[in-house]
Amino acid sequence: MTDRYSSHAANEYRLSEKFRLITVSLFGIGILIVLSNYLIHVIAQFNEQVFDENPWTIAARLLTAVTVALPAFYTARESARHRTNGDRATQRELELSTLDPFIELMPDDVKTAIRDRLTDRYFGNPIEPHNVTAPLDTETITKLASAFKPMPKFDQSGFA
């Protein structure tokens, strides 16, 4: 029986690592996008070019950031969930494999009482629901939006 918990834990840890790798890759892509955008502006300044910043370019950047960040948050949450499942299976395997050596020298009535008590713990329990929550709720978004003030307009020299 403990072999099943062991193989289940190993499978959950493998899935956790896959999701973790995907998460790191997505965040890496996001960082590369930000760095490339920064480098484009730095190179343009050396060539004395000026980029017109307008709401559309800002919206495009925000859309790009959200497009990369949302899957990264999802995969990070899935990685954590699989790691938690693996930890539970490892803990259950450890408890079941050490139960008999632990109670070996105890009287039979104590052994039976311990096994009866543990039966309720291991069997007949409901499965925990997997609740999906958004990284930001509407209240937080509203507070963030109200905290931002319009940016001052800058002239060619960079001063307001």
Residue extents of the structural domains in the chain: 2-122
Q: How many CB atoms lie within 10 A of CB 10?
A: 13
Q: Which of 40, 17, 33, 35 lies closest to 69, judged by CA? A: 33
- As a whole number, mean pLDDT of residues 18-34 equals 91
Q: What is the pLDDT of residues 105-149, one digit of tens each?
A: 889 998 899 888 888 877 777 777 666 666 667 777 777 777 776
Q: What is the pLDDT of residues 59-86, one digit of tens each?
A: 888 888 888 888 988 899 899 999 998 9
Between CA 72 and CA 22 the distance in angstroms is 7
Model pTM above 0.75? no
- 96 pLDDT more than 90: no
